[in-house]
Structure 1
């Protein structure tokens, strides 16, 4: 069977961790054939370090490489609920800064997953803005049918417990710290573990080896001829973005390309 050939967009920390995760999968199934960065010298250095055959100084060149089957866009995400106000990209509006789009999206995706892609009936959001106009702390309530709620918070001002819980009529599921990449669940007081394989090299972020599951899922989708994942569909992505847009509208975070005055609120 032909290997899935990966092209890596970016030479940052997440890209490094993704490469480490790929190394835990069978090499006959996953091969990294190229890497691209806006800085060619950085791409070349990265390629040399990680044994990647080709390096490009633009993402367009990578996209045009006939040897690349998968382009994985790497976006660096800082630790959830940790002080980030000193990181320029997190507070610069021109770079899409703000906690909501950087770490709050994990909270929104978690709620959408738990409620199986259901659209909230209403959204209530409140927060505080940085002097650059991006959000630094946001609290969110998503109201669903049958009197169900998701209560979410994200902040760039302080470290948080970074836990999640699902509370229902038959009990509670707790997800310990780093809920976006967990290796443990506590179901009605009973702890269950899902250990990751050891990393073949040092990584930058917690449980980055879990990216192997994403890589293998992409491969299986390709082998089945699928153009979208049945686990996270295009409709799921659109719903998450629409919720983020409404939260930004309520909190008052506007980017240059936004035209919020002419976008109706579809969550009332």
Structure 2
């Protein structure tokens, strides 16, 4: 009887340990699931938006009357746009995250490697005429125009010429530009934003809808001061994020 009692006690301890372990694993699973709901991870369903702060490093871009530098304005706005897009459920890839130089080819390579769904390149305008000031959104006019088959040039060694690849996205890029304008025009802007098509080397090699946004002229004294105002940059970032996400929703 003593031997059987020891066996029964051992079985009870094993059953108790098994049940305790199962409860512990269940609690852990619920906590993990709760964390995933609170902090969603990126998935294939999330749009990828490439945010491209213009200039950087030795390339300062335009300069304002108070010493404002385009490269700094672009990076500051890009970081706010990144946060605004992230809050709207997009995965954001920045072409640069600090003050360093990056070539046009490097920007295109990074964007294409991450298979972006859209690219927004941020710049300011500049002019020798300090009274000039406007907002412009450019989409590309590829070499040879935007008609005909997209990126169809091949030979035995080159699979695709990047300088023609944007052609397939020109119409979508125009829609992206209009979507951004609709949101930006709700802010206090000089005469609203202009949407223009022009040959843009930065956009030629991008295999996705892409635009360049110039946020006013940094050489305009009043505009230069606004471009240093964090609240203004945040409102602009929200408008750009909303325009981008609306374009992506309408295109899906």
Bigger helix share? 2
**Which of the two has higher C-alpha Rg?**
2
The structure whose RCO (Cα within 8 Å, separation 6+) is larger is 2
Bigger strand share? 1
Category of TM-score, reference length = shorter chain: 0.3 to 0.5
TM-score (ref. length: structure 2): 0.33
